[in-house]
Amino acid sequence: MGIIEFIKQPWPWYVAGPVIGLTVPALLILGNKTFGISSSLRHVCAMCLPANIPFFKYDWKKEIWNLFFVAGIAIGGIVAISLLKNPSPILIHPNLAIELASYGINDFHGLVPNQLFNWGELMSVKGFILMVVGGFLVGFGTRYAGGCTSGHAIMGISNLQWPSLVATCCFMAGGFLMANVILPFILSL
Amino acid sequence: MSKEIINQNTDIQQISEEQDYTLRSTDAVCINESHLHHKWYYNFKYMAVGVLFGIVFVKAEIISWFRIQEMFRFQSFHMYGVIGSAIMVGMISVWLIKKFNIKTIHGETIEFHDKVFNKGQIYGGLLFGLGWAITGACPGPLFAQIGTGATVIVITLLSALAGTWIYGYYRDKLPH
């Protein structure tokens, strides 16, 4: 197996996790930036539509580095999918496959399930909840919590901040509740 | 006389910079702690880190909706391994930076600030958790998913922007 074929396989957690962890010191050492991603959404608000809201009246130019960072993430997505795409279908847990099949979801190609997330579905109740309501909760919730998985779970806990640990536990609690209790209703719509 | 005015001006400047810092760090972990002013193109180094980060997101399937569903159903160790080992490496890195007082590449002292607890971390955390399990993505993966060609996720991202804006609009009325 050549090196490119080797890289094209899905990367195990013990490679991905440490590399993500190294983002923390990389951003600190490159320029005193604390790692986080959801703040980028706030900077876009501050830049495009501050509307005299005090929460958005700060010097967003100081945080423009964060927008370069997230633009890089999107470019990374393009690079990974065009040059390093895994040719095999994604393997998922058999119980999840059975559960999803009961909602008529049987296409497990791609990272985002095409049967749920597509432009046509956007107008259906299910698609609206999955894409629009879901996105709203992500944007509202992360800012209310003061950070997301990167800011709280990785940066905050790395810096031994107990409020970040509390936030992370709440992220997980909300996720368990949604995935196991509420999402089955949404998917059966 | 003129020197005095200049001093006064820098005082005003410093106060407003401090105020700006306070505002910027409100409800945020991720902050630019640097006091240096660089040309805009210095920001490309953060883009380079972002590119690497995005590649890892895709290659380790962290941006996969299916992996997130498996995580919340305890069907796979993968995501726990990723987040857990990322925290371990981050923790050791922060400890080393503090212990050896490591400076930035520009010679600046690296700053850390403690976060103050407020109830938003609970309420907001729960709301974000609900959204995370619906969309299968936290904010970082949204950008990477769009990069992989899932163009409809632009709508999810716009909706997340709307959520952030609405939070800013109603911030003072929400319990903290």
- Note the pLDDT of residue B15: 59
Helices then strands, each counted (H, E), chain A = 10, 0
Task: Name the residue of chain B whose CA is nearest to A185's CA.
Answer: B134
Length of chain A: 189
- Note the pLDDT of residue A90: 83
What one-letter code names the amino acid at A170?
Answer: C
Closest partner residue to A139 (CB to CB) among B130, B164, B174 is B164
Please give the structure tokens belonging to residue B108: 């600046």
Residues of chain A with pLDDT under 70: none
Spell out which residues of chain A touch residue B110, defining contact as CB-CB under 8 Å.
28-29, 32
Helix (H/G/I), strand (E/B), else coil: A125: helix
pLDDT tens digits, one per residue of B157-173: 999 999 999 999 999 99
- Note the pLDDT of residue B1: 43
Residues of chain B with pLDDT under 50: 1-4, 6-7
| Long-range CB contacts (within 8 A, 24+) of B69-73 | B69/A96, B69/A100, B69/A179, B69/B133, B69/B136, B70/A92, B70/A93, B70/A96, B71/A175, B72/A175, B72/A176, B72/A178, B72/A179, B72/A180, B72/B133, B73/A93, B73/A95, B73/A96, B73/A179, B73/A180
- Note the pLDDT of residue A3: 86
Closest partner residue to A27 (CB to CB) among B49, B68, B153 is B49
> What does the alpha-carbon distance between residue A141 and residue A171 come to, in Å, rounded to a whole number?
9
- Note the pLDDT of residue A4: 86
Across the interface, whether the CB atoms of B88 and A39 are under 8 A apart is answered no
- Which residues 24-83 of chain A have a CB within 8 Å of chain B? 24-42, 44-45, 49, 51, 53-59, 62-66, 68-81
Decide if B161 touches A, using CB distance below 8 A. yes
Q: Is B38 left (phi over 0), alpha (psi -120 to 50) or beta?
A: beta
Spell out which residues of chain B touch residue A153, defining contact as CB-CB under 8 Å.
83, 87
What one-letter code names the amino acid at A43?
Answer: H
ipTM confidence: 0.96
